[in-house]
Amino acid sequence: MLEDRDYMRQPAYEGLRLSFTLALVIVNTAIFLAELAAFSTPRGAVFVDSYFALSVEGLRQGYIWQLLTFQFLHAGWLHLIFNMLAVFFFGRPVEMALGRGRFLTLYLSSGVIGGLCQMAAALVWPSFFGSAVVGASASACGLVAAFAVLNWWERFTLFIYFFPVTMRGRTLLWCSIGLAAGSIFLTPHSNIANVAHLGGILTGALFVRQIVQGHWHWPEWGSSSSHPAVPREFAVTRAGKGRFWRSAAGKSDEELPTDEFVKNEVDPILEKISAHGIQSLTAREREILEKARSKMAKR
């Protein structure tokens, strides 16, 4: 029976109340408020910058903890808000797909490796990249990249400067890499840690692809033959009080007979689990399995 399988017994996303995503947003905000209080005095500002912001000089003095602490400091309200928006919207589906432990490992390691990349660039080009670094940008970029790899063939819509843009995960990843890499060379004096962003992106992508999914080859750009589930448009429609996915054919999951729903929607996901493990499922695929369990329970 479908409901007897292990992955069908797993609970759905546990909600914001228990999520590490929301906890990270709260912690970053709380630390920023403490940072503002410290910066109210010159000595406090020097103390924070010297001991907790990431810098080559700090690492030379043995302040290794800066690789973690810089991720929770921000240069202003806008810096904090944009980073936390990225963490919140990309972190929730990534946490649901990976679980809280791997999610936190991904988040922190993206920041650490991104910071190390920025410091390596500072050693080579100190006039361009020698400034101290603060912010969760590298960690957020890791989450964006992880989301892109987990949804490699899925279509979804992002709002970029209030304009909706529909793309696949693979497009999001390569655009992110291109934007970060291009900014390194085109705007080296921008005072933005673009090298850290690139390091975070690569860390997030490789973490999911190689550690979580266990693949040491990258999926082909133009072929979806290795992806068992058929990509569908990412669209949410309202019916009465509930929300549900609507397929590309225009027929909602709610309207499909149970047998047809299992054949068209669930069987490809079961094949994907068999080939790559449950950790390879996207947020939408997990929702489909949960919907299938509900349908089976009503029979």
Q: How far apart are CA 80 and CA 83, in angstroms?
A: 5
- When mean pLDDT is compared across 98-107, 197-206, 250-259, 262-271, the lowest value belongs to 250-259
Place of tokens 């999926």: 219
Options 3.30.420.40, 1.10.1370.20, 1.20.1540.10, 3.60.40.10; CATH for 15-212 is 1.20.1540.10
Q: Where are the beta strands (DSSP E) in the chain?
A: 155-160, 163-168, 236-239, 242-245
| Span 210-255, pLDDT tens digits | 877 776 555 554 444 444 333 333 323 223 333 333 333 444 555 5
Residues 6+ apart with CB under 8 A from 40: none
Coil, strand or helix at 226 = coil
Flag whether the pTM goes above 0.85: no
pLDDT of residue 163: 81
pLDDT of residue 16: 40
Q: How far apart are CA 72 and CA 29, in angstroms?
A: 8
Between the two ends of the chain, the Cα-to-Cα distance in Å is 12
CA 121, distance to chain mean position in Å, is: 24
- When mean pLDDT is compared across 49-53, 143-147, 152-156, 167-171, the lowest value belongs to 152-156
Q: How far apart are CA 290 and CA 222, in angstroms?
A: 30
Mean per-residue pLDDT, 260-267: 71
Closest CA to 153 of 87, 234, 90: 234
Coil, strand or helix at 244 = strand
Domain residue spans of the chain = 15-212, 236-298
User: Mean pLDDT for the chain?
Assistant: 79
- When mean pLDDT is compared across 61-65, 105-109, 167-171, 264-268, the lowest value belongs to 264-268
* Secondary element (H or E) of residue 53: none
pLDDT of residue 232: 34
Q: What is the 3-state secondary structure (H, E, C) of 59-103?
A: HHCCCCCHHHHHHHCCCCHHHHHHHHHHHHHHHHHHHHHHCHHHH
Closest CA to 224 of 156, 152, 116, 278: 152
Band of residue 18 on the pLDDT scale cut at 50, 70, 90: low
The string over 32-49, giving b where at least 16 C-beta atoms fall within 10 Å of a residue's C-beta and e elsewhere, is: beebeebeeeeeeeeebb
Closest CA to 118 of 39, 209, 53, 46: 53
Q: What are the beta bridge partners of residue 83?
A: none
Residues 6+ apart with CB under 8 A from 281: 7, 97, 269, 272, 273, 289
pLDDT of residue 244: 32
pLDDT > 80? residue 62: yes
